[in-house]
Amino acid sequence: MEQARKWLDGASRIAALTGAGVSAESGIPTFRGAGGLWRQFRPEDLATPEAFARDPLLVWEWYDWRRRLIAAASPNPGHAALAEIERRAGAFALITQNVDGLHERAGSRCVLKLHGDIWQVRCTGCGAEKRDDRTPLPSLPPRCECGSLLRPGVVWFGEPLPAGIWAQAEQAASGAEVFLVIGTSAAVYPAAGLAWLAKSAGAKVIEINPEETGLSAAADVSLRGKSGDLLPLLI
Ligand code: OAD
């Protein structure tokens, strides 16, 4: 902890990659591990373009349920600490795989959302995009004014990441002096590859996770514990 704190205090360019674990203490289930969503549900039934084409109502019922969980949750001290790091740092990028919007609600400004945003909806016909915060949605599956189906504004398995956001994330990772990897199992690429990119470009990599992950070997320091406990101590 002491070493990690020194690196963080001495760095002017910092980047962080977060995953579902950072929202776990807000009561949002993670994907893998005990109680994880992918223990209960199959991603190929709910989080692929094929699943949506087959059964849009089922997919939307699942997203509507998750939107309700998230709406009832609040950011935790881990989210707040990341917003504080951004306020103090010269340059900071928060790269997240989370779609819940809790980083922004905690005050983070520069958030690069690799996997989209659960509060955005996009028309499968005319391509129009808008934010819709209503929970529950009044009718499922929701439709655009043009009559076509709306889909959640998230990235599903088999879909490319938003190119502009990915380019900014790569730039932030390769330019960072300190790279934090928080609450991610690092099982999903290309997101997890950002930590390796940062390391090969010379960053000190600090991992925060109660469990060992595939990235632990790349980390200069692994802090084992919950991000809501450890991030406030780090700053
Ligand atoms: P995972 O569910 O794969 O991993 C969550 C990680 O958080 C695990 O390594 C846990 O040990 C850790 N964790 C649990 N509680 C924690 C806490 N309180 N503090 C810190 N860490 C904690 O979630 P992601 O790595 O985010 O993608 O998953 C990546 C992607 O896979 C998601 O964006 C989603 C999923 O399928 C798509 O849907 C495309």
CB-ligand 1 contact for 227 (6 Å cutoff): yes
**Right CATH number for 29-72+118-154 from 3.30.1600.10, 3.60.40.10, 1.10.3720.10, 2.30.42.10?**
3.30.1600.10
Closest C-alpha to 209, from 9, 40, 10, 30: 30
Q: Whose CA is nearest to atom 21 of ligand 1?
A: 183
Atom from ligand 1 closest to the CA of residue 114: 33
Higher pLDDT, 14 or 188: 14
Q: How confident is the model at residue 33 (pLDDT cuts 50, 70, 90)?
A: confident
Task: Point out the least confidently predicted range of 34-38, 120-124, 207-211.
Answer: 34-38
Give kind and range of the element (H or E) at residue 87: helix 77-88
Are residues 84 and 188 in contact, defined by beta-carbon separation less than 8 angstroms? Answer: no
Question: Of 151, 159, 165, 152, which Cα lies nearest the Cα of 114?
Answer: 165
> What is the pLDDT at residue 34?
84
Confidence at 104, pLDDT banded by 50, 70, 90: very high
**Ligand 1 atom nearest to CA at 18:** 26
Query: Directed axis angle between helix 163-175 and helix 193-200, to 10°?
Result: 40
The residue extents of the domains of the chain are 1-28+75-115+161-235, 29-72+118-154
pTM score above 0.95: yes
Task: Give the model's pLDDT for residue 175.
Answer: 98
